[in-house]
Amino acid sequence: MKRPTIHDIAREAGVAKSTVSFALNGLPGVSEATRQRILAVAGELGWQPSRAARALSAAQAEVVGLVLARPTGLLEVEPFFMRLIAGVEAALGADDIGLLLQVVGDDPQHELEVYRRWWGQRRVDGVLVVDVRVDDQRLPVLAELGLPCVLVSSEVPGSGLTSVGLDTKAAMVAAVAHLRALGHTRIARVSGHADFQETVLRDRAFAETAGPDAVIVAADYSGERGAAATRDLLLSGQPPTAIVYDNDVMAVSAVGVAAELGLDVPGDLSIVAWDDSPLCRLPHPALTAISRDIPGYGAAAAGALLRVIHGERVPDAVFGIPELVVRGSTGPA
């Protein structure tokens, strides 16, 4: 009544353990007849390989890790991560690789500590790294540790680490062009964490697209900061007629701010969200948004990680084509 082992199968089938191992792993060196018999016995016994034993022997955990390092107040309402994870697991599932998740506060030291432990104990074979910052202090450590990883981020030239990115520029162009076409000239943007690399890229893309003096107010992806930034913009001397937000959460909060100030959306203010999670359909009017295939993105990143773990040298990649989904929150200037 205990877990059957290869040894049990061997005894039951009247062959040697190694024969069983070969048969089970589809390796040559076993006659088709014996292989079938072994498989049958394994099936009857309900045998499943022991992960621990396999991991020890193969020196492979068959697990990849993901650390989420944001204050939970930010994490829990940010749909991006669950969507990413869903995609990651789709790619991992085929090889039956597990995903070890760790959410740590906002402490980069803590995050590095997790990587050191995970890799030191070979608890994971590699990790996916999100929220890459400018001059990210994690990157050199990761490189030095030799922990296989893929940056879920645009490329980071000096790092020597593989990245899988999204086309930020194209997305920004789509958003701004849409607003321009509606006649907007005073277009502003409320950005995410100022020291995320992605934010800097969007800053640049926005400046190149909306003009160098287009206003950007820095926020941090949270509803609070997003709302505050929106208030600042709308109560300023020259309020914008359209605002592009760096995520859905801040864009949703902007609808609230408009209501609070008695402004009509999109009559007085057009709003563009970024990511296009189901959050965009919560407010009225529903939000026009930059839409990207986040699950697909996660799957691509996970696929790249598997190859990196496998020892391949994987080139940086850019995933997918952003699209603008027009809903009620944008209208003529």
Applying CB under 8 A, which of residues 16, 27, 53, 321 lies at the interface with its own copies? 53
Contact indicator for 256, 231 with CB cutoff of 8 Å: no
Identity of the residue, 25 or 238, whose beta carbon is nearer to DNA in the bound complex: 25
Binding positions for DNA, 20-79, rule CB under 7 A: 21-22, 24-25, 27-34, 47-50, 53-54, 56-59
Rounded to whole angstroms, what are the CA distances from 98 to 114, 259, 291, 304, 330?
17, 45, 28, 15, 42
Is position 19 an interface residue for DNA (rule: CB under 7 A)?
Answer: yes
| Contact with its own copies (CB under 8 A) among 165, 192, 223, 322 | 223
Per-residue contact flags (x/-) with its own copies for residues 252 to 281, judged by CB under 8 A: xx-xxx-xx----------------xxx-x
Count of C-beta atoms within a 10 Å radius of residue 200: 16
Give the number of residues in contact with DNA, rule: CB under 7 A.
Answer: 32
C-beta atoms surrounding 22 within 10 Å: 18
CB 258 within 8 A of CB 322: no
Tokens of 86: 């869903």
182 to each of 145, 173, 285, how far by Cα in Å? 51, 14, 17
Q: How far is the CB of 258 from its own copies (least distance, A)?
A: 8
Evaluate whether 162 touches 316 at the Cβ level (below 8 Å): yes
Q: Which stretch binds DNA (CB under 7 A): 1-9, 107-115, 137-145, 195-203?
A: 1-9
**φ, ψ (nearest 5 deg) of residue 57:** -65, -45
Residue 140 within binding range of its own copies, rule CB under 8 A: no
- Alpha carbon 57 to chain centroid, angstroms: 31
Q: Which is nearer to its own copies, 176 or 271 (CB)?
A: 271
Which residue is it, tokens 């030291």? Answer: 109
How far the first Cα of the chain sits from its last, in Å, is 74
Q: Which of 260, 259, 297 is nearest to 80 (CA)?
A: 297
Member of 16, 44, 109, 122 binding its own copies (CB under 8 A): 122
Length in residues, the chain: 333
Least gap, CB of 41 to DNA (angstroms): 13
Chain residues binding its own copies by CB under 8 A are 3, 46, 48-53, 55-56, 59, 61, 63, 72-73, 75-77, 79-83, 85-86, 89, 96, 98-103, 117, 120-123, 222-224, 249, 252-253, 255-257, 259-260, 277-279, 281-284, 286, 295
Residues that bind DNA (CB under 7 A): 3, 5-7, 14-19, 21-22, 24-25, 27-34, 47-50, 53-54, 56-59
